[in-house]
Amino acid sequence: MKSKSPLTLRLLVVAILVLFPLSLVASPSLQKQKPQQPKGAPIFIPNEVKSVMLAGMTNREPRLDIPFTVVQNIFLPAREGLHSIFLLKIKNADLGYRPISQEQGVKKEEAGVQETQVQPLSSNQLQASFNMFLMFNVLEGNSYKTIREVYVPCNLIEDAATIDLEKEDYYFFGYPLLAGNYLLSVAITSLDLKKIGVQYYEFSLPDPASFQNSMETTPIFFIKSIDRIEAPEMRTTLHRGFFTYSVVKIVPNIDRIFSLGENLDIFFFIFGAQPSAEQKYNIEINYEVKKDEELAIRWVPQTYDNPLVSQPLPLKQTVIVKQGNEQRQETRDLPEGKYTLGVQIQDKISGKTLTKTIDFQVK
């Protein structure tokens, strides 16, 4: 999958900033803010599902009628609070994908109203219809308090040529939350609720306003592709292989495995950077790749005027080739192996510094 050019990435970052202003960095504690519930989002969990979710809550005991795992969460700044993205790993066949034809209608459910629409679907497409229920709980010591229940109707349509039913794929959904410690309960069920899979996941979200004397980043991840969409999603939606953030669609490289010649496209946000009186940032970042303790690549330092970073890093290294008494420089692809990317961040205005590392593999 081809990477976007640096200019395209910068333009997409600008598009994000237009809708998600970064004033939250210097705002009072997010705990005092009240996030908006997406308009029209149905919020309920049927009793037969809720009882299963609550039964395993204390001991975090999953139910695997429909097996899946909650792998991790990523968070990024949003207009109010933090946009939390959750990664599920599910075997595609367990979601009940089946062939569909042009004569079949696609069932849609919005705000509790069901309707069937006929769409021009070809016989080489597969459809999976099921329910997902989310229960967000704030952890308070050894106890928890349920603060939000969300119903996510799922109707996924995939091309048969691009999905392997016997493979486990990553599925993503996002939700706005405030800073705090959470226990998430996720249920995936058949439409008739006879099959119920439940998993539990603990996670924490930092308060951006707490980084007055230090810097920190959101979880650093790599992207395979990033594209603009028409408008932000206003409902919680489950996607296979990608997630949306503001007005962009992002396909992440969760496994951090790259082919020869690919770019490292890195994406993250910096908390604690200080803007100037004109609300401009001056951030310098040095990137380098090491194999064990040996330096493999060091790029020219990059400067940024905002703390949302989307940066392609070509995996090319310069090597010295000797032939007799002569030597010359050649640029080659980074060879196969396991590497560590170092990210050295310096805020030129405040003088604060931060170093992060992330492992990856070329194969």
DSSP string, 141-154: TTEEEEEEEEEEEE
Q: Please list the helix, strand and coil fractions of the chain in percent, rounded to the nearest 5, in that order.
A: 10, 55, 35
Q: Which two tokens stand for residue 196?
A: 């119920």
Residue found by looking up tokens 């692809």 in the block: 333
What's the rounded Cα separation, in Å, for the pair 268 and 255?
A: 17
Domain with CATH 2.70.50 in the chain: 30-206
Instruction: Provide the mean pLDDT of the chain.
Output: 86
Q: Per-residue pLDDT for 112 more than 50? A: no
Q: Under DSSP, is residue 11 helix (H, G, I), strand (E, B) or coil? A: helix
Q: Per-residue pLDDT for 362 more than 60? A: yes
Q: Under DSSP, is residue 30 helix (H, G, I), strand (E, B) or coil? A: helix
What's the rounded Cα separation, in Å, for the pair 192 and 205?
A: 35
In this structure, whether the domain defined by 30-206 belongs to CATH 2.40.50 is answered with no
Domain with CATH 2.60.40 in the chain: 258-362
Q: What is the pLDDT of residues 50-103, one digit of tens each?
A: 999 999 999 999 999 999 999 999 999 987 789 999 999 999 999 999 998 654
What lies within 8 Å, CB to CB, of 21 at 6+ separation is: 79
Q: Which CATH class is domain 258-362?
A: mainly beta
**H or E, element range at 13:** helix 6-19
Q: Per-residue pLDDT for 141 more than 70? A: yes
Q: Per-residue pLDDT for 110 more than 70? A: no
Q: Which two tokens stand for residue 82?
A: 């933090």
What's the rounded Cα separation, in Å, for the pair 161 and 159?
A: 5
What lies within 8 Å, CB to CB, of 188 at 6+ separation is: 66, 68, 90, 95, 130, 131, 132, 196, 197
Q: Per-residue pLDDT for 176 more than 70? A: yes
Q: Sign of the CA dihedral 291, 295, 300, 303?
A: positive
Residue found by looking up tokens 């395979």 in the block: 224
Q: Which two tokens stand for residue 118?
A: 């006929």
Mean pLDDT of 338-357: 98
What's the rounded Cα separation, in Å, for the pair 311 and 313?
A: 6
Q: What is the pLDDT of residues 9-46, one digit of tens each?
A: 555 655 555 455 443 343 333 333 344 444 444 458 99
Percent of the chain with pLDDT over 70: 82
